[in-house]
Every structure is written in C-alpha cells, then in structure tokens.
Structure 1
Amino acid sequence: MSATEELYPFPDPNHVKFVPMEFWPEFLASTTGTEFLAGGLGGMAGVFAGHPLDTVRIRLQQPRLGVSTTPTTATGLIKHIVSTEGTMALFKGMATPLATIAFQNAVAFQAYALFSRALSDRTSLEPLSYQKVAIAGIAAGTVQTAILTPVDLIKIRLQIATDRRAKKSNLQSPQAGPLGLVRGIVRREGIKGLYRGWTATVIRDAPSHAVYFGTYEYMRELLHPGCRTDGEESLSTMLVSGGLAGSLSWLCCYPLDVVKSRLQAQGAGGAPNQYKGIMDCFRTSARQEGYQVFLRGLGPSLARAFLVNGAIFSAYELSLRYLSPRSPKGDLELQPIL
C-alpha cells in the first residue's frame, strides 16, 4: 500500500474485507483540497517572482556598525552582490522557502477561506463584509506564523552569509546548508531556537494580513465591480489588486519586519545576542543607527511585494478556475473565496 493510502473499514457482506481509499485524490476533489492546492501554487509563484529582491531587503535591514563598504541603496547592493558573490547569490536561501512556502501559503489561504466561510451568512448572496474580511485575515495571519517563523529564520541566516570564500571553506561542514543550520540551532538552543522572533512575527503578520486580504477584496471590487460575487475578474485585475494588497500590507508593518529580521539574524553560528527582545531591539537600533533604520530597504520591499503578491493572487485565482471548471449551467462548481 502506498504512503498516500489510508484504510477505512468498509466491510463487505461477509464483514471480512477492507476497501483502500486514496486520500489525496479525495482531498483534492473537495473544496478544501482545491483551495489548499491553489494556495500552494500561488506561494511557489511568489517565491520565484520575488526572492532576489527579498535577499536585498534582508541585507539592507542588517546592522551597519563601524566602517562598511557595502552599498546602502538597493541598486548599488545588487551590483555589489553580483560582482563580489555572483548572480546566484541573489537566490541564496531560496531552497528553504520554495520547499515550504507552498505549504505555508496553502495554510494561510486555506485558513482565510475557512474563517471567511465561518463568518459568512449562508442565507445571503452578498459577499463577506470588509470588517469580516479583516477578522478572517487576522486569524489566517496568526495561524500561518507557526510554519513561517522557522522558515524565515533559516532563510535569513542563509541570506546574510555574504563571504563567498568562507562559504566555500564551510561546504563540508555539517552546518552547511539549510538542514545543517537547523541541526546546529536545535543542538545549541533546542526546538525553541527555530522560533526565535515568533512573537514579532505574530505582531507583524496578524494585522498585516487584515490589510492584505482587505485591500485585495476592496481593489478587485473597485476595478471590476461584481467580481466578488461572480469571480470573473480579469488577469490584470488580479495582478494589480494582489500587488497593491502586498505593497500596502508591507508598508504598514515594515518597521516591525526590520526588528523581526534582526532578532532572527542574531545568534547565528552561536554568536552572542545583541538584543534582549522586541523593545530592546527598537531602542538599540534607533540609538545606534537612527530612526531611519526602520525604513531601510523599504523601496525594494514594496517593489518585491507588488511582484510577489500579484503573482500569488493571480496563480491562486487561475488555479481555482482550472481546478474548478464551469458546470454545464455556466456556474462555478467551486466559487473562489478571494
């Protein structure tokens, strides 16, 4: 029996046999499974679209103490990375989110869909109110941090590894690569070490997801009136609405993202911690580098957010349409939630 099969007791007339049932085909044929798969495909599209700019964002957010020759602008940093580390350095750390972002994004979108249905009035044909959209977004943003926090931590640790020669000399080290990093963190700090920065992630993602889904729903209805009911918006509407939703959600939480990135980057390789917590990181960073530090890397982050989330929502909506074909009557068998 394959790993995807489960045995469900289904006795024959003699009550002596069991009928195997394939779990994944049954799951993916359901509304829940379709939404889950579409969310995963959207997440993968987002990773491919935005990882190079994400690497630039993480590098710009790190502390700059003492004399440093590293450029402080996005374009300058991109040229510096390409010339000193090679073009592929812009994709450093992509394997970890690519391997997990499908599941994380699927969880986020599925959680949003489930909370949306729980909050909806089944007797009404009206779309979910924007207030309830925000509530469902907060819940979805909170749920997905359980997966996002360790993934982000490993990604950030890989992205700040800037010395090509040091990297080459450590390729044979048991701590080289994502799995080596995980083993090293668990050995030094235990499982809780993988959740460094979890509180900051929740504080960042819960309200930002309210803005994220709320903006998307509002903009798609503004650009294509009635689409929240019939799900018939164009690709350009998906791209623009998703892009604006991503950019605005990042804009409202960016200072906290700087703090989260610093909290997760500290302690790399067993180095001593610089910050005691969220507030200490705020105060120390502002005192050492000025309050402008909390906007460092904002430009490439907003550009990345537009590209990534335009791709995510478009891939999600188009996947739902493909996986949920029209019935002979012309109605969608499975209406897109977003």
Structure 2
Amino acid sequence: MDFWPEFLASSSGREFVAGGFGGTAGVISGYPLDTLRIRQQSGGQNGSAFNILRQMLSKEGFCSLYRGMGAPLASVTFQNAVVFQTYAVLSRAFDPSASAKDPPSYKSVALGGMGTGGLQSLLLSPVELIKIRLQLQNTNQSKESGTTPVKVAKNIWRKEGLRGIYRGLGITIMRDIPSHGFYFWTYEYMREKLHPGCRKSGQESLNTMLVSGGLAGVASWVCSYPFDVVKTRLQAQTPSAIKYKGVYDCITKSVREEGYPVLWRGLGTAVARAFVVNGAVFAAYEFALRFLFNNENVQMQETI
C-alpha cells in the first residue's frame, strides 16, 4: 500500500514515471510515420512515403498505419522509464562534481546517453523485431503468421528460439550507443541555447521543450540512420527467407543491388517523425516531472 507514495517520493521514482509518460506520447504521435519508414527501408515497396501511404490506405485501410503498435506501446512505459532513469543516473555518475542543483556537464550528458543506449538495446531489440514483422505484414517482405504482438512473439519463439527473438541485437547496439549520446547532448545543449539558465532552474517554455526535443531526435537519427536500415532488413528476415547472413553481408548486398542511397532510404520520413515524436517525448517528460515535483512540494507544505 505504501509502495507508490514512497517510490514517487524519490527522485529516481519520479524520473521513472515521467519517462513512461514521455514514451507513451512519443509512440502515439509518431507511429504512422514509423510504419512508412519501415516499409521504405525494407525495399518491399518502391516510391515515396506519399505513394506508400496512398497504397496502404487504398489496399489495407487506415488501421494499417497503426499495425504493430501494441508491441511498443505495451512496453514503452517501462522501456522509456528505464531509459530516462538510467540516463539520469549515468550522466551524474560520469560527473561526480555535479550537485543536486547543478546539471551534469555536456560531456557527461553524452557519455550517459551512450551508456543508456547500449543498455536499453537489450529491451528494445525484441520489441522492434516484433513491431517490424507486424508492420511488414501483407507485403512480400514478411509472411509472419499472427495478427497480435503476442502471437507473433510466440511464433518467432517456436520457430527460431531465443536467437530469433534477439535477431538484430548487435546492429541495434551499434545504432543506439552513438544515437543516444547525440540525442541527450543535443537536447541539453539546445534547451540551454534557447532558454539560457533553464538547465539549472528547470524552467523553460513549451516551445523550448518541443524544439529542443525535436532537434535531439533529428540529430540522433541522422548520425545512425544507415545502421537502422540494416537493422530493419535483418529483422524483417524469417527462417524461410534468409537473404543476409549478417551486418556486413547485408550492407554489401544492399549497396551492390540498390546503390549507396539505399542506406539513407526513408531518412526524410524518419526525420519528420523524429521531430514530432521527440518533441512530444521531452515535453511530456518535463511536464510530468514538474507535476510530480510540484505535487511533492505541495504535500510538504501541507505537512508543515
């Protein structure tokens, strides 16, 4: 009975809950663009994002844009909560001189983000695998049976075991370590530039949160996008249709068949989605964090 009050009374507890709110807001706001990005990357449908969108709406209906959202939405509260809490701990661990009132240095922010990216890949890789298999249903890229995340997960486990569930883990780690370093560094740097002193005071406008979060998302995708294309292609494979033996084989075959631009296919869609999603993530995170801190202050004043 006393768990939640005690949990929310701690700084880690508040960061955990606020991170969950941020993640949920991000998934809901950007999932249709994510579906379009995956279809562009996989190579199963040619054309621009607008052409793919038109084909999906005419052949599969509006709901196809949200196919597979259950997997990330079900896990995103926990996953994003862990990400923000881990980042808060690591960024301060890399900067022992930072106090409770002083923010960690930008170097510590980047290192904390990189560490967070590597750790969260263990949670994210299976979720993205299931999401990709669902998003590519009704295309020639995936013949995965099952219409829900649970059914697809069971099918993968039955056919491929633990190795199948973690297909693409290596490339996910290679993508997330640099991307998360750029992600948190860009957010902290831009919010301070747009609203000087806000890193210490914790007070900035909604526009600052949205723009800083959006630019952070864009920076993280631009620096790691080719890794994401390779990851999508590796995770889209099923045991009955193995085309790539590994990361290097996927890169060489993809470039040989489709040219170097294939490594950046869908970048425009990803950047647009990243700005929307991460603006929403950080805005929701910051607002939830302030609400929890203010609520604690009100309770303390009432007690006094």
TM class by shorter chain equals over 0.9
Correspondence for 1:194 = 165
Q: 1:104 aligns with which of 72, 76, 79?
A: 79
Q: In the alignment, residue 164 of structure 2 is paired with which amino acid?
A: G
Letter in 1 for 2:82: V
Tell me how far apart the structure 1 counterparts of residues 160 and 3 of structure 2 sit (CA, whole Å).
37
Which residue identity is paired with 2:30?
G
Q: Structure 1 pair 147/83, CA: closer, same or farther in 2 (3 Å)?
A: same
Aligned residue for 1:159?
135
Q: 2:52 aligns with which of 74, 77, 80?
A: 77
Listed one character per residue, the Cα deviations across residues 5-51 of structure 1 (whole Å, up to 9, x for unaligned) are xxxxxxxxxxxxxxxx5323321221111100000000000001100
Find the partner of 2:124 among 135, 143, 148: 148
Query: Shift in Å at residue 190 of structure 1?
Result: 1.2
**How many Å separate the matches in 2 of 1:237 and 1:118?**
27
Letter in 2 for 1:257: D
Give 1:17's aligned residue.
Answer: none
Counting only pairs closer than 5 Å after superposition, residues 86-97 of structure 1 correspond to structure 2 as: 86-97=61-72
Equivalent-residue separation in structure 2 for 1:228 and 1:208 (angstroms): 21
Q: Which of 180, 188, 193 is the equivalent residue of 1:217?
A: 188
Q: Report whether the alignment pairs 1:294 with 2:263.
A: yes
Partner AA of 1:239 in structure 2 = L
Q: Distance in 2 between matches of 1:322 and 1:162?
A: 43
Question: How far off is 1:125 after superposition?
Answer: 5.1
Q: Amino acid of the residue matched to residue 159 of structure 2?
A: R
Pair 288,123 (structure 1): closer, same or farther in 2 beyond 3 Å:
closer
Q: Larger C-alpha radius of gyration, 1 or 2?
A: 1
RMSD of aligned Cα (Å): 2.2
Given the superposition, is the C-alpha separation of residues 50 and 181 from structure 1 closer, same or farther in structure 2, using an over 3 Å criterion? Answer: same
* Residue number in structure 2 paired with 1:29: 9
Q: Percent identity?
A: 54
Output the CA distance in 2 between the equivalents of 1:122 and 1:39: 22
C-alpha distance after superposition, 1:55-102 (max 9, x if no partner): 0000000135xxxxx441011111111111101111111111111111
1:260 — aligned with what? 231
* Structure 2 unaligned blocks of 5 or more: 299-304
Specify every segment of 5 or more residues in structure 1 that has no aligned partner in the other structure, as ranges. 1-20, 65-69, 329-338
Tell me the distance in 2 between the aligned counterparts of 1:217 and 1:93. Answer: 32
- Give 1:86's aligned amino acid: G
1:51 equivalent in alignment to 2:31: yes
**Structure 2 Cα separation of the partners of residues 321 and 126 of structure 1:** 17
SS of the counterpart of 2:154? helix
Structure 1 CA distance for aligned equivalents of residues 53 and 5 of structure 2:
44
On the 8 A contact 1:40/1:105 being kept in 2, the answer is yes
Q: Secondary structure at the match of 1:102?
A: helix
Structure 1 or 2: more helix by fraction: 2
The alpha carbon displacement at 1:240 in A equals 0.1
Separation of aligned partners in 2, 1:206 and 1:306: 20
Preserved contact between residue 182 and residue 216 of structure 2 (Cα < 8 Å): yes
TM-score by length of 2: 0.92
The TM-score, its normalising length taken from structure 1, stands at 0.83
Q: Does 1:118 align with 2:93?
A: yes
Q: Is the 8 A contact 1:71 1:80 kept in 2?
A: no
CA spacing shift, 1:115–1:36, aligned 2, 3 Å: same
Counterpart in 1 of 2:302? none
Alignment partners' CA distance in 2, 1:109 and 1:124: 17
Note the 1:127-142 alignment, pairs <5 A. 127-142=103-118
Q: Which is worse superposed, 229-238 or 116-125? A: 116-125
